[in-house]
Structure 1
Amino acid sequence: MRTRFIAAGAALLALLTSVLAMTQSAQAATGLHVSGTKILEANGNQFIMRGTSHAHTWFPSQTSSFANIKSLGANTVRVVLSGGRWTANAASDVANVIALCKQNRLICVLENHDTTGYGEQSGAYTLDQAVDYWVGLKSVLTGQENYIVINIGNEPYGNNSPSAWTSATKSAISRMRAAGFQHLLMVDAPNWGQDWQFVMRDNAASVFDSDPQKNTVFSIHMYGVFDTAAEVTGYLQAFQTAGLPLVIGEFGNMHSDGDPDEDTIMSQAQSRGVGYLGWSWSGNGGGVEYLDQVTNFNVNQLTSWGQRLFNGANGVKSTAKEATIYSGQPPVSPSPSPSASPSPSASPSASPSRSPSPSPSPGGAKGCAATYTVTNQWGGGFQGEVTVKAGSSAISGWTVTWTYANGQAITQVWNATVTSNGSSITARNVSYNGGLGAGASTSFGFLGSWNGANGVPAVSCTAS
């Protein structure tokens, strides 16, 4: 009798567990959701991410990037946003980003970059602050569960105190659910996303269980830490053995901390049904320009890394399958992207800050206008960007001038020819960006030095 009661109790427990699992699955199936190691759409079809990241927060005018990324076969784009560490992306901007993703039949992973390197990088936000940002955007995120994934915070801990990641991540998930978010949540690893101390790997189960909807996917960033096939396969296998969902949220073919084994990363992701997102479309700098997949946001200028990611073995073009939510919708043709300059700091571990007070120039109806912005600044040095916009008529060339008041000097420039006479600066277009249609714009960038002050000068633009 005692054995029968034990067996009956076990059967009842198994039934309750099954019902609970089905209830949790039903709760999560509002849109994109996880089931075991897989990501599923609301209709139950598996969705495997294949795509790249786009640094929207620093290049908000590069909206054609969404169509261009789609044109190379991607089914997902990871979009860099900021809640205030850099110029904040407001609700209206985020709503437009979501619309661009949907227009181009892409699943949109929205990530808050403010948390990058917390505890090690000055100015980094906490995961709690990241949640505040998402809560402020709830009005434009609700109802988009079929189309977007919320990546709560990019690389939320550096190498200082990464053990704090576990409790901070659980708290962030709890607050997101308490605020009513039904979305698939993505959480990045500590150690600048690379989890070389295995904090995420060893605590993933408890973090997953802390989500009342059981709808969280883990994201590993694979750079120099993952420079051998054994390290790549070992990490992926650990999550599959645990029955937990994992995506490769960032990876490259080179990096300053070592040489990632991108061939194994991509082949193993394909054989295991694991999503991957390369870093990044364009705009890298600060020594990691090699991570650009296209030059100056031009889809027709794939770099060697871009060729490898999109067109190589196990690459995006040959392995990506579009989300079924878009079945029956017509494709959107890509549009040409304007020229833009690489940003020295839009890298996996450092990103540019944008000046809150750019200096615009007046623009006549048939002339041009220019806006000067300090995009990043550090001790003794800075990066600047000038955007030139044609007036109501097309122009064939432009000249921008300004005078520094604080002794600044330009040391390097791209997408323009610059001459100086003391503190007076003259910048002229180069061969490929002088002709602008009515209302069209282009930009050029530069590095400079400063000492004591770095005021934003007034600029003027003359068209030819």
Structure 2
Amino acid sequence: MRLSGLHLRLQRTRAATVAVATAAVALVAGALVALPGAAQAAGVQCQATYAVTNDWGSGFTASVTITNLGSAWTSWTLGYSYTGNQALSSGWNGTWTQSGRNVTVSSLSWNAAVASGGTVSPAANFSYSGANTAPTAFTVNGVVCGGAGPTASPTPTPTPTGTGTPPTSAAPALHVSGNRLVTSTGADYRLLGVNRSSGEFACIQGKGMWDGPADQATVDAMKTWNIHAVRIPLNEECWLGTGDVPAGGTSGAAYQQAVKDYVNLLVANGINVVLDLHWTYGQYTGSGAGCSDVKATCQKPMPDMQYTPTFWTQVASAFKGDDAVLFDLFNEPYPDAANGFADATEAWTCLRDGGTCTGIGYQVAGMQTLVDAVRATGADNVIMTGGLTWTNDLSQWLAYKPVDPTGDLMASWHSYNFNGCVTTTCWNSTIGAVAAQVPVQAGEIGQNSCAHDYIDQVMAWADANGVGYTAWTWNPWGVCASSGNDLITDWAGTPTSSYGQGFQAHLLTQQP
């Protein structure tokens, strides 16, 4: 969002009420059971702990934390069996398969190597009826693991109040087909939800990570609004752990793990995630500047060559294989403002190709460079790229779009009442032309009046044209009167007067 400065935030915490039941197995050393891939593999030692973290009566979310007690693994395959009719719906942090009652989970490229003493926690959603008995034996690479022994039976998680209900499966894997996002079955799907700000600013301001809770209770609140997508703004220096991150700010491996944990939680709850690069490195003091700091402390006109390609290489490596996660390569480009709005062709070329751009004092990473960085990792996640003028202008997006060998490319559009393109006439002639050829996502919508008349128009047009939208923002900052973009007054999901109430009411009428 293009707003100068940051408002004071009140951090409220709320304990999660998810009932967790943990079950593991303690086995006599050397005893083996017939499980998938149970041929003995010399030297592998492990401990396995099974947990049901959410059970809604007809389905559940389960995770298995496996600890390497022996020499380092270069890859791993987990095996176990159910005694009931549990049926795999979807999984993450591993490649999940099921044959009859036997479940197998294989490592992904980014979590295949596990050092001695290290852990990995694949998780999945299952459906079932009747008893949901925990498995009693686990193998890794064919060798039986030890454990702590079964404990309590899973306790169903209470259904959240309101109109939302827990999903029966994780968020769908998505890809591009023509001008639509589609699921693995080919069904059309729109990303409808909210932005969850703070991953871009809290770390670089020494305020920890999320400036509030990022737990099951807050996700349950989102589900009562019928939220199916959350866009998470990120900070490249915090992800990379540079020396610019101050004391008190979450950085490097800790930041990366916090992002992964939150993404996994949302996906497990049926919510797709858009990872957005929001704040980046590079000094800029020209038109539209939000700060004069070289550090990643505000929205810059373009991403930088020094850090951004590495950022996206690492993010893509971390999330490839999970196509429920999408990548928004750069929040709000404005190279046209940097050149004084004097040369639109130069600005669009800068957006795509980067390099030396008028008015920008650092080397720019263009969208083609970032697409190439993501695809070089083998990730086929859907990628979003924006336009000019804080991505409100998509007038030449089709002519200057980067080449994506996978075809999984869509356009990112932002629409606020203070932007230039704010009428249906403009949307039809510019955004509509793009939406006729590729999927379009309104990654940010909002208005600075705490009303909802403008976003009502945006959503009506988007609904009619197959465009998704995520409103700014799911944060209770208490500044609705001055900026007008708080959707909630507390982390329990109480909507703000008018703006939040209007968006919530509309969202409850929609299906992805």
Q: TM-score range by the shorter chain?
A: 0.5 to 0.7
Q: Give secondary structure in 1 for the equivalent of 2:373.
A: helix
Taking the aligned partners of 1:193 and 1:116, their CA distance within structure 2 comes to 19
Of residues 455, 463, 471, the one that matches 1:278 is 471
CA distance in 1, matches of 2:329, 2:453: 25
| Aligned position for 2:327 | 150
For 1:229, give the aligned amino acid: T
Match of 1:103 among 261, 268, 275: 268
Alignment root-mean-square deviation, CA:
3.0
Tell me whether 1:214 sits opposite 2:384 in the alignment: no
Decide which of 112, 119, 134 is 2:312's aligned counterpart. 134
Cα 1:31–1:254 change in 2 (3 A) is: same
Q: Which residue in the other structure is 1:165 paired with?
A: 351
Aligned-pair CA distance for 1:31: 4.1
Task: Report the Cα offset of residue 205 of structure 1.
Answer: 4.2
Identity %: 21
| 1:116 Cα deviation after fit | 9.7
Q: Does 1:250 align with 2:444?
A: yes
- Higher helix proportion: 1
AA at the equivalent of 1:318 = T
Q: What is the letter of the counterpart of residue 207 of structure 1?
A: K
Q: Give the match's secondary structure for 1:140.
A: helix
Aligned 8 A contact 1:74 1:320 in 2: no
TM-score, normalising length: structure 1:
0.55
Match of 2:179 among 13, 31, 37: 37
What is aligned with 2:379?
Answer: 181
Alpha-carbon offset, residue 56 of structure 1: 3.8
Tell me if structure 1 keeps the 8 A contact 2:280–2:308: yes
Q: How does 1:289-300 map to 2 (within 5 A)?
A: 289-300=483-494
Alignment map for 1:5-154 (pairs within 5 Å): 31-57=173-199, 58=202, 59-64=210-215, 65-84=218-237, 87=249, 88=251, 90-115=255-280, 119=284, 120-121=289-290, 122=292, 123=294, 124=300, 126=303, 128=305, 129-145=307-323, 147-154=324-331
Matching residue's letter, 1:234: S
Contact 1:135 1:179 in 2 (8 A): yes
Kept in 2: contact 1:116–1:192 (CA 8 A): no
1:327-366 alignment runs, 5 A limit? none
Q: CA deviation at 1:265?
A: 0.9
Give unmatched runs, 5+ long, in structure 2.
Answer: 1-171, 203-209, 239-244, 295-299, 340-346, 354-365
Partner of 2:507: 316
Unaligned ranges ≥5, structure 1: 1-29, 322-464
Give the number of aligned pairs: 281
How much does 1:45 deviate?
A: 1.3
Given that residues 189 and 221 in structure 1 are in contact (C-alpha distance below 8 angstroms), is that contact kept between their aligned partners in structure 2? no
Compared with structure 1, are the counterparts of its residues 139 and 214 closer, same or farther at alpha carbon in structure 2 (3 Å cutoff)? Answer: closer
Which residue does the alignment assign to 2:395? 201
User: Separation in 1 of the partners of 2:449 and 2:397?
Assistant: 27
- What are the Cα deviations for residues 198-238 of structure 1, in whole angstroms up to 9, with x where unaligned? xx431434425x11111111111001223333223333322
Residues 236-269 of structure 1, C-alpha deviation per residue, up to 9 Å, x if partnerless? 322134x12211111113369x998322211111
Answer whether contact 1:193 1:220 (CA < 8 A) is retained.
yes
One-letter amino acid of the counterpart of residue 493, structure 2: V
SS of match in other structure, 1:113? strand
Distance 1:255 1:190 in 2: 24
Deviation at 1:104, TM superposition (A): 1.9
Maintained 8 Å contact 2:333/2:388? yes
- CA separation of 1:117 and 1:186: change in aligned 2, threshold 3 A: farther
Q: What is the one-letter code of the residue matched to 1:166? A: R
Structure 2 distance, partners of 1:286, 1:262, is: 15
Partners of 1:77 and 1:109 within 8 A in 2 = yes
- Which residue number in structure 2 is paired with residue 402 of structure 1? none
1:221 partner SS:
strand
**Cα 1:60–1:142 shift into 2, 3 Å:** farther
Cα distance in structure 1, aligned partners of 2:283 and 2:452: 24
2:329 maps to a residue whose letter is: I
Please tell me whether the aligned partners of residues 73 and 316 of structure 1 are also in contact (alpha carbons under 8 angstroms): yes
State whether structure 2 residue 500 is matched by structure 1 residue 306: yes
- 1:128-180 C-alpha deviation (Å, 9 max, x unpaired): 433311322344312211x1001112113352144311221122112221232
Give the SS at the match of 1:47. Answer: coil
The 1:192–1:217 alpha-carbon spacing in structure 2 relative to 1, beyond 3 Å, is same
Asked if 1 retains the 8 angstrom alpha-carbon contact of 2:312 and 2:373, the reply is no
Matched position secondary structure for 2:279:
helix
Contact 1:218 1:245 in 2 (8 A): yes
Offset of residue 291 of structure 1: 0.2
